[in-house]
Each structure stands twice: as structure tokens, then as C-alpha cells.
Amino acid sequence: MSERSTSKIICTRESITAKDVILTGDRPTGPLHLGHYVGSLKARADLQHVCKQYILIADMQALTDNADNPGKVRENVLEVMMDYLSVGISPELSTIYLQSAIPETAELTMYFLNLVNVGRLSRNPTVKNEIKQRGFGDEVPAGFWTYPVNQAADVCQFKATVVPVGEDQVPILELSNDIAATFNRLYKTSVLRPCKALTPTTGLLPGTDGNSKMSKSLGNAIYLSDPPNVVAKKVKSMFTDPQHLRVEDPGHIEGNMVFTYLDVFDPDQAEVARLKEHSQRGGLADGTVKARLIDVLETFLAPIRDRRAQYGKDPAEVKRLLKIGTERAHAVVQETMREVRDALGIVKL
Ligand code: TRP
């Protein structure tokens, strides 16, 4: 199987039309944070007006490295669903579904596992990295090691044409396209379609500590569900400028997380430019800039938090919305799977 160059597989927001089908989703292992919002949730709320969009809560994939803690996965399914709903992802415009409730995905994963060789899987840079990060060594669960094949099944069963993912997940989509092409060639069919990766154009939102990635495990995240006092506390402890010891010293903008966040979230960029200029001149206290960021984040998060509180009062309704989306998604997958089984020549009883 050929290893494709990444340039061919990446598409742009401008190229997406009403004919496209988007599939995207998250592992439910924790509540979603501002990094998720900047990196993907915002785009989903926008793209749902452009074309069909499926969003999966990937609980089966989450179990591939949480087999010893299924409770964590279970507890986060509705949390993630509430995060989606509270940032304006509409359960009517988007089809939000639960991965484990579509057993055909596991079936397709089995067929796909025969179309990829062990050498190719072990070279996958995404998984190699994740194995290192998790310290699995030789003890990597086979399910985790093969999760890209499961993800290929997620993508192919909807005939998705666009898959928004982080840069690090692009090799998984190359694998998915190779599996689809192999399937079509071997079984003389055209049921499966190649997809393109839509990667974020804005850089990753760094963590509050200045680490390049906001993540739960690094403890540097501001969550969409954080109450105001927690947000304020996190902003006050943000990484700013170690060389800015006295207020009158000139400040450095580059690497100061408070300015980085203001760049992203402050609607009044002229004021941000003035503050930067003042900081560089000297005489601007960190506390003043932090107070502004606390205000800005409050304005941004308050409506999200309010919507979340509404849904939080009615978990049965949240579950019902997920069930409706899952039924809609299931019907589409059942149709694809009929074509897949026909192409494969699976015996019908
Ligand atoms: N791998 C994604 C994550 O870690 C979740 C995911 C599972 C996904 N299946 C997918 C994303 C299919 C896009 C398409 O968050």
C-alpha cells in the first residue's frame, strides 16, 4: 500500500460545499476545554450550516486505552454531549451519535483489519507517539494499537468526504483512504470513498502554563464548564513574562499567555493592541491585563455555562437527543453495510 503525501489529503474550509459529508468526534475521557473550542467545536458550529455533519462520541475508541476504567468513559459521554449542545452544536443540524450503539462499526473494523498489514500499523507515527506518551512499551493493548482501523470504519461507513482532525491524526486518514481503496479494488466495487482531512488553520491554543498544548493530563486547561471563580483563579496563575519583575519594566508579548488568549478571545482587538504597546513601553501591571482577560472569558463562557446548566437539570433530555442522533446515524450505516456485505459476498442466511 502506498504512503501518500499529506499535501494531497488536506483540504481547506473554502473547498467545502453542500455535497460534502463531515465526520468528526471526540473520545469521552473528560470535559471539553477552550482548546477544543478553538481547535474544533467552533468550526463544527459553523460547518453544520454548510453540509451534512456527523459527530461521534467515540466511547469504544476511548476504551482502547481505558479498559480498566470504563466508568470514566461512561461518565463523560453525557458531559461531552452537554459540551456540544452548550457551544451551539445543534442536534438537528448535526447528527450526534454514540459509537458503541452502532455495532456495525465493529463488524466493519473486522473486515478492515484484513486489509492492512502489521508493518504498516506499527509504522503509524500517530500511534507510535501515543504509545510512547502512555508508556505502554510492549504491553500496548491490541485494541489501542489497531484503533486507527476502527477509526477508518467510523469514516468509511458514512462515506465521509471531510474529516476535521488535528495535524497529528492525518496519518490515520491516509490509512483510512488506503483501506478504502484496497477494499474497492479487491472486491471490485466503488462503495467506499476517500476522505480529506480538514486541519485547524489557527495554531493550537496553548495551556495556561505556556505548554504548547492545552490538555487535561497536563493540568493546564480551562474547561467550558468551569465556574467563574475557577476561571479567575486559573487566569491569575497564568504564565506571563518571567522578565517582567517590576511594573515599570518593559514587558514581552511573545510567550505571555494572557496576551495569547486575548488575541483569540477579545472582540476588541484595538484595545488589545493598545495594551500590548503599553506593556512593551513598561508601566503596565500583569494584574491589569489578567483582569481584562477574566472579563473577556466571562463574557464568552457565561452563555455557554447557562445553557449547560439548563441541560444539566435534564439529563434524560440530553440522553434522548443523543439517542435520536444515534438512530439517524445507524440507519445510514446500515445502508452502507448492506453494500459492504454484498461487495464482500458475505453469505446471507
Ligand atoms: N480520534 C479522535 C480523538 O481522539 C476521535 C475519533 C474517533 C474520530 N473516530 C473518529 C475523529 C473519526 C474523527 C473521525 O478525539
Residue pLDDT, tens place only, 41-97: 999 999 999 999 999 999 999 999 999 999 999 999 999 999 999 999 999 999 999
How remote is the CA of residue 315 from the centroid of ligand 1, in Å? 24
SS3 of residue 221 by DSSP: coil
Nearest CA to ligand 1 atom 8: 25
Share of the chain above pLDDT 90, in %: 91
How remote is the CA of residue 340 from the centroid of ligand 1, in Å? 22
Mean pLDDT of 319-345: 98
Mean pLDDT of 293-302: 98
**Residue 151 Cβ contacting ligand 1 at under 6 Å:** yes
Give the pLDDT band of residue 332 (cuts 50, 70, 90): very high
Nearest CA to ligand 1 atom 5: 26
Nearest CA to ligand 1 atom 13: 24
Q: What is the reported pLDDT for 7? A: 62
> pLDDT of 3-39, one tens digit each?
444 468 999 999 999 999 999 999 999 999 999 999 9
Residue of 9, 21, 24, 96 best suited for mutating to test ligand 1, as the one with most atoms within 8 Å of CB = 24
What cell numbers appear for 90 in the block?
445543534
Give the pLDDT band of residue 203 (cuts 50, 70, 90): confident
Kindly give the number of the ligand 1 atom that is closest to the alpha carbon of 26: 15
Q: Among 49, 51, 39, which residue's Cα sits nearest to residue 162?
A: 51
Mean pLDDT of 329-342: 98
pLDDT averaged over the chain? 95
Residue bearing cell 455557554: 304
Mean pLDDT of 243-255: 92
- Residue 2 pLDDT exceeds 80: no
The pTM assigned to this predicted structure is: 0.94
Contact 260, 230 (CB under 8 A): no
What cell numbers appear for 262 in the block?
486575548
Give the pLDDT band of residue 163 (cuts 50, 70, 90): very high
Q: Where are the beta strands (DSSP E) in 176-223?
A: 196-198
Q: Hey, how many other C-beta atoms are within 10 angstroms of the C-beta on 285?
A: 14
Share of the chain above pLDDT 70, in %: 98
Mean pLDDT of 114-118: 97
How remote is the CA of residue 337 from the centroid of ligand 1, in Å? 20
Q: What is the reported pLDDT for 1? A: 40
Q: What is the reported pLDDT for 4? A: 47
Residue of 146, 168, 169 best suited for mutating to test ligand 1, as the one with most atoms within 8 Å of CB = 169
Kindly give the number of the ligand 1 atom that is closest to the alpha carbon of 154: 12
Mean pLDDT of 321-333: 98
Alpha helical stretches, state H, the chain: 6-9, 34-36, 42-47, 59-63, 70-86, 104-113, 118-123, 125-134, 142-145, 147-157, 170-186, 228-236, 257-265, 269-281, 286-312, 315-344
SS3 of residue 53 by DSSP: strand
Residue 159 Rama label (left phi>0; alpha psi -120 to 50; beta) = left
Q: Among 323, 314, 329, which residue's Cα sits nearest to residue 86?
A: 314
How remote is the CA of residue 228 from the centroid of ligand 1, in Å? 30
